[in-house]
Amino acid sequence: MTSTEEIRKALATVIDPELRRSIVELDMVRSIEVGDNGVIDVTVSLTTPGCPIRGHFQRAVTDAVLRLDGASHCNVYFDVLSDAQKAALQQKLGRASLPEGTLAQVANILCVGSGKGGVGKSTLTANLAAALMAEGKRVGVLDADVWGYSIPRMYGLGSTRPPVSPERKIIPLGAHGVSVMSIGFFVEEDAAVVWRGPMLHKALTQFLQDVDWGELDYLLIDLPPGTGDVSMTLAQLLPQAQFLIVTTPQPTAQKVARRAAQMAHKVSLEIAGVIENMCAFQTPSGERFAIFGEGGGEELARELDVPLLGRVPLTMPLREHADGGRPLVLEEPEDPAAQAIAHIARGVIAMAPLPLATLPLVEVSAGAAPPAAPPSPAERKPAGMSLPMA
Ligand SMILES: Nc1ncnc2c1ncn2[C@@H]1O[C@H](COP(=O)(O)OP(=O)(O)OP(=O)(O)O)[C@@H](O)[C@H]1O
Ligand SMILES: [Mg+2]
């Protein structure tokens, strides 16, 4: 007969994919009951009733329990953590978290970072997002480079202000099939944004919390260069995010990129892989020029023990279309850089850990009350005003 202690030990292998810790360590196992004939009942406490990863717990708990000798059947029940338990959990995790439900409909978050500037993070973010969209995924891009935002230009978006929904959420602008949010939509063209510290933290929180991202398969976050405030804040707010590290091929760039990797490790963000950008330039006659050297991405990937997701060559059309506001992958899919990026997108899809759980549909009966009238435009302001967007 299996003991409760053995079952608890087995459940330590069930990881909450958002908090990235075991459900035992997180005190989420509410009860374990061993019944007749090896039937085991486990109740797991969730942080929110509509938790989209419920299905994950259902499967993982059942698998863990049924691996034990003597276990014949496992029933998994759910309840919700009390406010006091949630507060205790938050304290245990020691992090300022986003409110519940924020980004609950976003299956995968990928932060695109590098140790130094100008290696092509924004160009790759814009194109990778478009390539994922072309593969049939629902994709959003958050331009978290508040000081040097470039995503609006790369998507041909001016400084149009995004609309605000009746629920007072900011609606991302759509461009090339991708939902886009950037500080560039809220400030005068080329105006300097000088936020630091708490102000910056608040603005980034608002980008995640008060933007109606809706259901997304991927949210790509374009980070500013380096390992500074923005990256640390996002890492803290998004423990479930993964990191893509962009490097150029020369060994010195790779040393700098290693610092970004160290930062990701320090804040326990998983590194999904390395992308080597600005690899050899090939002339139409077939001559190759390794302008930035060769092999840096491969070496970094080996050192970090993560996959090298792709090597994107230097091509003129990639730069031209980025400047022209249209992703190369959609404009010239046969270009070698576009092909490399499409390949990376397929690699990213192949390793996606979390399919978005299907949320139950709410039936609206014919006699239901009509929806409340939308608020007047004056009322339609986003909640928690820290961005200059009113
Ligand atoms: N593979 C490539 N081939 C040709 N041009 C490229 C390539 N990758 C990036 N570029 C160009 O290099 C310049 C810098 O790229 P980008 O702005 O994407 O870098 P970044 O890492 O986001 O920079 P920052 O650190 O300033 O945010 C841009 O003009 C872009 O069009
Ligand atoms: Mg950039």
Does the pLDDT of residue 190 top 70, yes or no? Answer: no
**Tokens at 389, concatenated:** 């967007």
| Angle at CA of residue 219, ends 217 and 222, nearest 5° | 155
- Would you state the pLDDT for residue 333? 97
- Would you state the pLDDT for residue 91? 67
- Would you state the pLDDT for residue 96? 60
Whether the CB-CB separation of 134 and 330 falls below 8 Å is answered with: yes
CB contact set of 214 (below 8 Å; sequence gap of 6+): 105, 138, 179
How many domains, the chain?
A: 2
Q: Which atom of ligand 1 is nearest to the CA of 117?
A: 25
- Would you state the pLDDT for residue 200? 77
Rounded-to-integer distance, Cα 129 and Cα 106, Å: 14
CATH number at residue 115: 3.40.50.300
pTM, 2 dp: 0.72
Does the beta carbon of 315 lie inside 6 Å of ligand 1? Answer: yes
User: Which of the residue ranges 60-64, 142-146, 252-256, 384-388 has the most confident prediction, judged by mean pLDDT?
Assistant: 60-64
- Would you state the pLDDT for residue 373? 46
Does the pLDDT of residue 30 top 50, yes or no? Answer: yes
163 shares a domain with 282: yes
Residue 383 domain flag:
no
Q: What residue's CA is closest to ligand 1, atom 12? A: 120
153 shares a domain with 15: no
Does the beta carbon of 150 lie inside 6 Å of ligand 1? Answer: yes
Q: What residue's CA is closest to ligand 1, atom 16? A: 120
pLDDT band at 73 (very low <50, low <70, confident <90, very high): very high
CATH number at residue 87: 3.30.300.130
Does the pLDDT of residue 262 top 90, yes or no? Answer: no
52 shares a domain with 198: no
What is the CA(335)–ligand 2 centre distance, in A?
22
Does the pLDDT of residue 368 top 70, yes or no? Answer: no
Lowest-confidence pick of 86-100, 144-158, 344-358: 86-100
81 CB-side CA count, 13 A: 18
274 shares a domain with 142: yes
In terms of Cβ atoms closer than 10 Å to its own Cβ (0-12, 13-18, 19+), residue 83 is exposed
- Would you state the pLDDT for residue 182? 92
What is the CA(251)–ligand 2 centre distance, in A?
21
Report the percentage of the chain scoring pLDDT > 90.
Answer: 45
Residue 112 domain flag:
yes
pLDDT in tens, 99-145: 777 788 899 999 999 888 899 999 999 999 999 999 999 999 999 98
- Would you state the pLDDT for residue 378? 42
Neighbouring C-beta atoms of residue 291, cutoff 10 Å: 14
130 shares a domain with 60: no
Residue 390 domain flag:
no
Q: What residue's CA is closest to ligand 1, atom 5? A: 319
90 shares a domain with 117: no
pLDDT in tens, 213-235: 999 999 999 998 877 778 777 87
156 shares a domain with 51: no
Tokens 């797991």 -> residue: 44
Lowest-confidence pick of 11-20, 27-36, 104-113: 11-20
- Domain stop point among 48, 64, 96: 96
Rounded-to-integer distance, Cα 146 and Cα 206, Å: 13
* 344 bridge partner residues: none
Tell me the pLDDT of the chain averaged across its residues.
83
338 shares a domain with 289: yes
- The ligand placed nearest to the CA atom of residue 126 is 1
| Residue 54, φ and ψ in degrees, nearest 5 | -50, -45
64 shares a domain with 26: yes
280 shares a domain with 153: yes
pLDDT in tens, 341-350: 999 999 999 9
pLDDT band at 44 (very low <50, low <70, confident <90, very high): very high
Q: What residue's CA is closest to ligand 1, atom 1? A: 314
What is the CA(31)–ligand 2 centre distance, in A?
48
Helix axes 336-351, 121-134, angle to 10 degrees: 70
Sign of the Cα pseudo-torsion (159, 165, 166, 168, in order): negative
Residue 382 domain flag:
no
Distances in whole angstroms, Cα of residue 186 to Cα of each of 98, 149, 161, 193, 388 = 22, 11, 6, 10, 6
What is the CA(347)–ligand 1 centre distance, in A?
21
Does the pLDDT of residue 281 top 90, yes or no? Answer: no
- Would you state the pLDDT for residue 117? 87
- Would you state the pLDDT for residue 360? 44
Residue 369 domain flag:
no
Does the pLDDT of residue 272 top 80, yes or no? Answer: yes
pLDDT band at 89 (very low <50, low <70, confident <90, very high): confident
Rounded-to-integer distance, Cα 22 and Cα 41, Å: 18
pLDDT band at 211 (very low <50, low <70, confident <90, very high): very high
Whether the CB-CB separation of 70 and 38 falls below 8 Å is answered with: yes
131 shares a domain with 33: no
127 shares a domain with 182: yes
Structural domain for 43, as ranges: 4-96
Q: What residue's CA is closest to ligand 1, atom 3? A: 314
- Domain stop point among 33, 64, 96: 96
Phi-psi region of 70 (alpha: psi -120 to 50; beta: other; left: phi over 0): left
